[in-house]
Amino acid sequence: MTEFFHSSAFDWDKHLFQLINSHNSPFWDKVIWVITSAQFGVVFFLLLSALVIWFYRKQSWKILLFVAVVSLLGDTFGARVLKPTLQRLRPSHDAEYHGEYQVHLLQKKDGTYYYGGRYGCPSNHAINYLTSSLLFFCFLRTKVRNRWLLAVFVFGTTLLASYSRIYAGVHYPFDILCGWIFALIWAGLAIWLKRRTKIIP
């Protein structure tokens, strides 16, 4: 599959990656380290979980379990099935494809660089953030007073976290797009199942 992703049909993807990845600075490297970290995702999940607990009280545990299970299954499928099947190298592992362009990577405290795993399509960051955002929005949109603020927060954070992966040099834009498409289908099926079974408010 690597040769397929190296075809001219993906030239736009490579050029867009290089455009985003080349706009960097020491200051933004530090900011992106925070945004792309697992801790940032945990805080995002906990904030939305707190809203669910506040609005749903005794029923909240069902919702949080539902969101957690759906998100975990989506993450596992992306990492264990889709990535090994598509086998698209991350830009950080695909230097020959970029020729003279040197991919900008984030540097760790020990002086080494963050490369990520070997394969990058689809982006699990994109899957996890959009899946959880769609599910939380489904449950909270009828509870919060300003629905648009909730939408800006959840989907804006999703966009920011996804962008951070391109900046960090570990995903192409197409990897992000594939992650979003899978998340839309996966979360959509979960929401449909919820409405059909009516086991969750």
Query: What is the pLDDT at residue 85?
Result: 96
pTM of the model: 0.95
**pLDDT higher than 90, residue 184:** yes
Instruction: Give the rounded percent of residues in the chain with a pLDDT score beyond 70.
Output: 99
Q: Are 91 and 170 a contacting pair, CB within 8 Å?
A: yes
**pLDDT higher than 90, residue 3:** no
Q: Which residue type does 113 have?
A: Y
Query: What is the pLDDT at residue 90?
Result: 97
CA 187, distance to chain mean position in Å, is 13
Please state the domain count of the chain: 1
**pLDDT higher than 80, residue 198:** no
Residue 169 DSSP one-character state:
T
Q: Which residues contact 196 (CB under 8 A, 6 or more apart)?
A: none
**pLDDT higher than 80, residue 72:** yes
Q: Which two tokens stand for residue 111?
A: 């002086």
Length of the chain: 201
The pLDDT tens digits of the residues spanning 7-56 come to 999 999 999 999 999 999 999 999 999 999 999 999 999 999 999 999 99
Query: What is the pLDDT at residue 96?
Result: 87
pLDDT band for position 71 (cuts 50, 70, 90)? very high
Query: What is the pLDDT at residue 131?
Result: 98
Q: Which two tokens stand for residue 147?
A: 């629905």
Q: Considering just the CA atoms, what is the radius of gyration of the chain in Å?
A: 18
Query: What are the φ/ψ torsions at residue 107 (nearest 5 degrees)?
Result: -95, 135
Query: What is the pLDDT at residue 153?
Result: 97
CATH number at residue 17: 1.20.144
Query: What is the pLDDT at residue 151?
Result: 97
Average pLDDT for the chain: 95
Domain that holds residue 159: 2-197
